[in-house]
Structure 1
Amino acid sequence: MMISQTIDLPLIKPNWPKVASVQAFTTTRQGGVSLPPYDSLNLAYHVEDDPQAVSQNRQLLAQKLKQSAIVWLDQQHTTNCLYVDHTPQQIPTADAIWTDQPGLVLSVMTADCLPILLTNGKRVCAIHAGWRGLVDGIIETSLNQCITRAGDDSWQAWIGPAISAAFFEVGDEVRQAFIQKYPLFTDYFQPHGQKWLADLAAMAEQILRFHGIEIITQSGLCSYADSTRFYSYRRDNQTGRMASLIWLEAKAESDK
């Protein structure tokens, strides 16, 4: 049952070229009912927040979007990309999801990792990508499933709020994992004492370009730097999760 209250729930629209048949948003941490340190629109059950607060936050989001069929994932930094044509009865374990069915809202949750949304106006895809997912091939797996099909036309991607290169410190093992797979990625790591600062968003963009996506828009928003709007696991450790959502609009009866 939807809760009845005035909704003051900020949403961020992707700053990409709009496609008439597609809706997409990223939530912020604002507008929900969770108490600190999850204040306030935490959408994840697995972070030890009060389950009733999370449930109410999800209801608030559904009411704000005027959409009830939100598909949530159990994200485990896998390379699993799932096709859905209905709302699953059980939450699937995957880190990417796509559909060609109108009215299904696809979601991925993040708190520093990259949310990547893709569409060609006929299909939509949402990807959760941390550094391990990028190295292991979550983008490639997703593109191979939802794009390599006869009759495909122009696709575009949006890379949403995530930790920026100024704050994402990694060890040499992470750098080596990337440059062994992508030798040209040496430029995306800058020395920082005994470690490196890594530009995840730039690497994700380059992987998308490697695989034929030409229209790519970066949000330019840093989850670590903006504590007012965003959760950040690196910054706070015990914290909530935002959601990035995308769906194909259902046609009105008069349009069918």
Structure 2
Amino acid sequence: MRNFTFENTFICFTEKEDGNQRLPENVERLKSQLALDSIHVPNQKHTNLVLELRQYNGQECDGLYTVDKNVAVGVLTADCIPVVLFNGLELAVIHAGWRGLFGGIIENGFKLFKNKKNVKGFIGPSIRGCCYEVDLQFVKDLKVDEKFYTIYENKAYLDLVNIAKSKLESLEVVDIFDLGECTKCSGKFFSYRNGDFESRILTFAFMKE
């Protein structure tokens, strides 16, 4: 498990050595280590929805927003991008796969913030442009700007992280921290593209009092 602290906001993500975070016993271990009562994770379905935690009761969505201190929210990933938005008073953790990313999930999460002038962003472990191979027709169908992919041997290598960063910049997110590690080729994380079909990374965050 690795963690970063940005003033009162604590951001954490797991590695392979922490085990599959779909398993409750592994999540319990994290909660115990950090003295957390719970880590709230949404019912993820590759949507573009981010919901307020106080109104969440199991609906399908791919991000949670909270203003409550010492309350952790998180998402499970295995190549998709975990995005954390925070300003010290508000917090959202978002699961951004290609569907959500192109469907506006980052923008939808940002809309929930009351103070939009001081929002910062954190991008956790995810598949990078070096490894995210897709068909050329895929990027053409999505009308992806050519600056976000390269072509090699008639395949496109799509850089979802830079698309996410571009979206954050367009929202005037003031500071973006990108971990810069690829889930597929680093060897440190579970990766769907590497055959980890059932195992997941947990990225979560909470605000301290």
- Tell me the TM-score range normalised by the shorter chain: over 0.9
Instruction: Tell me the distance in 1 between the aligned counterparts of 2:92 and 2:80.
Output: 16
Decide which of 199, 211, 214 is 2:174's aligned counterpart: 214
Distance 1:85 1:102 in 2: 13
Q: Is the 8 A contact 2:129 2:159 kept in 1?
A: yes
The one-letter code matched in structure 2 to 1:179 is K
Q: Matched residue of 1:246: which SS? A: strand
What displacement does 1:157 show? 0.3
Q: After the TM superposition, which residues 1-256 of structure 1 pair with which residues of structure 2 at under 5 Å, given as runs?
A: 11-14=1-4, 18-31=5-18, 41-44=19-22, 54-85=23-54, 90-146=57-113, 149=114, 151-179=115-143, 185-227=145-187, 229-249=188-208, 251=209
C-alpha distance in structure 2 between counterparts of 1:100 and 1:177, whole Å: 38
Larger radius of gyration: 1
2-structure distance, mates of 1:111, 1:120: 26
Cα displacement string for residues 158-197 of structure 1 (whole angstroms, at most 9, x for unaligned residues): 11100111110012343124436xxxx3111101222200
Deviation at 1:153, TM superposition (A): 3.8
Percentage of pairs with the same residue: 25
1:13 is paired with a residue whose SS is strand
**Cα displacement (A) at 1:30:** 0.9
Measured in 2, the distance between the counterparts of 1:83 and 1:92 equals 11
Give the Å deviation of 1:211: 1.2
**Cα distance between partner residues in 2 of 1:193 and 1:237:** 26
Instruction: Using the TM superposition, give the Cα deviation of residue 71 of structure 1 relative to its aligned residue in structure 2, in angstroms.
Output: 0.5
CA change 1:237–1:29 in 2 (3 A) is closer
Give unpaired runs (5+ residues) of structure 1: 1-10, 32-40, 45-53, 252-256
Partner of 1:4: none
The structure where strand makes up a greater share of residues is 2
Q: How far 1:237 moved relative to its partner?
A: 4.4
Structure 1, residues 199-241: CA drift from partner, whole Å, max 9, x if none? 11111000111111131111011110122x2000011143400
3-state SS of 2:206 partner: strand
Which residue type is aligned with residue 20 of structure 2?
N
Task: Give 1:76 shift.
Answer: 0.6
5+ long unaligned stretches in structure 2: none
Q: Deviations over 1:45-65 (max 9, x none)?
A: xxxxxxxxx121111111112
Return the letter of the residue paired with 1:156. K
